[in-house]
Amino acid sequence: MPKFSLKIFLPAAGLGERLRPITYHIPKPLLPVLGRPLIEITLKKFSAVSSARIGINLHYKPEMIKEWIKSSVYAARVELFPEDPILGTGGALKNAEEFLSDSHFLVHNADILSDIDFVQLIGTHLASENIATLATHDYPKYNNVVIDDNGYVIDVENPGTSTPNPDRLARKVAYTGIAVYSPEILKFLPDGVSHATVAWLAAARAGHKVQALDFTGCYWNDIGTPASYASAIINALRNEGETVYIHPLVKKCTSAEIDGYIVIEGENELGQNVSLRNCIVLEGSKIENSLSYENCILGPDFKIELNESEILHSDESGILIGTGGSARKYYRTKKDGKTAVLMKCREGDADYHRHIKYTKFFLNHNIPVPQLIEATPEKMSAIFEDLGDISLYSWLKCRRNPEDVEEMYRKVLNIDVQIHTGATANVSECPMLQSRLFDYEHYRWETGYFIERFVEGVRNIKPKNLSALQNEFHKIASKADSYPKTVIHRDFQSQNIMIHKGIPRLIDFQGARMGLPAYDVASILWDPYYRLEDGMRESLLGYYMDKMKNANSSAAAFAKADMPTHPALILCRLQRHMQALGAYGFLSSVIGKKYFLKHIPEGLRLLKEDVALVKDDYPELYGLVMGL
Q: pLDDT (tens digit, 9 = 90+) per residue, 326-338?
A: 667 888 888 888 8
What is the DSSP-derived secondary structure letter of residue 371?
A: P
* Range with lowest mean pLDDT among 57-66, 90-99, 133-142, 272-281: 272-281
DSSP string, 288-327: -TT-EEEEEEE-SS-EEE--HHHHS-EETTEEEE--SS-S
Instruction: Give the pLDDT score at 554.
Output: 52
Mention every residue, 6+ apart, whose C-beta is less than 8 A from residue 403.
none
Q: How confident is the model at residue 350 (pLDDT cuts 50, 70, 90)?
A: confident
Q: Looking at residues 247-258, what average pLDDT do you find? A: 82
Backbone angles phi, psi at 194, to 5 degrees: -160, 170
How much of the chain, in percent, has pLDDT values that exceed 90? 72
Q: pLDDT tens-digit profile of 489-522? A: 999 999 999 998 889 999 999 999 999 999 999 9
Q: Which residue has the higher pLDDT, 559 or 53?
A: 53
Instruction: Give the pLDDT score at 566.
Output: 75
Q: Looking at residues 322-326, what average pLDDT do you find? A: 61
CB burial class (10 A; 0-12, 13-18, 19+) of residue 351? Answer: middle
Instruction: Give the pLDDT score at 556.
Output: 54
SS3 assignment, position 584: helix
Residue 312 has pLDDT above 80, yes or no: no
Instruction: Give the pLDDT score at 257.
Output: 86
Instruction: Give the pLDDT score at 170.
Output: 81
Q: pLDDT tens-digit profile of 578-624? A: 999 999 999 999 988 899 999 999 999 999 999 999 999 999 999 99
Rounded to an integer, what distance in angstroms lies between the CA atom of residue 256 and that of residue 259? 10
Q: How confident is the model at residue 316 (pLDDT cuts 50, 70, 90)?
A: low
Rounded to an integer, what distance in angstroms lies between the CA atom of residue 49 and that of residue 46? 6
* Range with lowest mean pLDDT among 73-87, 285-299, 395-409: 285-299
Residue 552 has pLDDT above 70, yes or no: no
User: How far, in Å, are 324, 443, 497 from residue 493 at the CA level?
Assistant: 12, 18, 7
Residue 563 has pLDDT above 70, yes or no: no
Q: Looking at residues 289-317, what average pLDDT do you find? A: 82
Among 162-166, 410-414, 558-562, top mean pLDDT goes to 410-414
What is the DSSP-derived secondary structure letter of residue 370?
A: P
Instruction: Give the pLDDT score at 553.
Output: 53
Mention every residue, 6+ apart, whose C-beta is less than 8 A from residue 69.
56, 75, 78, 80
CB burial class (10 A; 0-12, 13-18, 19+) of residue 244? Answer: buried
Residue 345 has pLDDT above 60, yes or no: yes
* Range with lowest mean pLDDT among 59-73, 90-104, 338-352: 338-352
User: How far, in Å, are 2, 104, 188, 281 from residue 205 at the CA level?
Assistant: 35, 21, 11, 49
In DSSP terms, 137 is beta-bridged to 174
Q: pLDDT tens-digit profile of 383-411? A: 999 898 899 999 999 888 899 999 999 99
Instruction: Give the pLDDT score at 5.
Output: 87
User: How far, in Å, are 496, 510, 604 from residue 449 at the CA level?
Assistant: 21, 20, 15
Angle of helix 619-626 relative to helix 600-613, nearest 10 degrees, comes to 150
How much of the chain, in percent, has pLDDT values that exceed 70? 95
Burial 445-466 (b: 16+ CB within 10 A, else e): ebbebbbebbbebbeeeebeee
Instruction: Give the pLDDT score at 323.
Output: 62
Instruction: Give the pLDDT score at 620.
Output: 96
Mention every residue, 6+ apart, whose C-beta is less than 8 A from residue 169.
none
Backbone angles phi, psi at 254, to 5 degrees: -65, -35
Instruction: Give the pLDDT score at 325.
Output: 54
Instruction: Give the pLDDT score at 555.
Output: 55
Backbone angles phi, psi at 297, to 5 degrees: -110, 130
Count CB neighbours of 140 within 10 A.
10
Backbone angles phi, psi at 222, to 5 degrees: -95, 110
Instruction: Give the pLDDT score at 617.
Output: 94
